[in-house]
Structure 1
Amino acid sequence: MNQAVHFAQTAKPAGKAVQRETTRTNDPVRTMAEILEVATTEFANKGLSGARIDEIAAATRTSKRMIYYYFGSKDGLYIAVLEEAYRRMRAIEGELHLEDLPPEDALRRLVSFTFDHHHDNQDYIRLVMNENMERGAYLAQSKSIQELNVPAIQAIRQLYDRGVATKVFRPGLDPIDIHASISALSFFNVSNQHTFDLIFKRDGQSPQALSARRENIVEMVVRFVRA
Structure 2
Amino acid sequence: MLLRRQTDAAATRKTTAPGRVLIALKTLLAVVFCVALSGAPADAADKSAAKPPKPVTKPVQARMTLPAEKPRPQAQSTTRAQRWTCVQYVQAYGDVKLRGDGWQWWDNAAGQYDRGQTPKPGAVLVLKRTGHLRSGHVAIVSKVIDKRTILVDHANWGWSRDTKGRVHVGMRVVDVSPKNDWSQTRFWFEPGNTLGSRTYPAYGFVYSPTPKRPGLPETRGARG
TM-score by length of 1: 0.17
Q: Which has the larger radius of gyration?
A: 2
TM-score by length of 2: 0.18
**Larger strand fraction of residues:** 2
**Larger helix fraction of residues:** 1
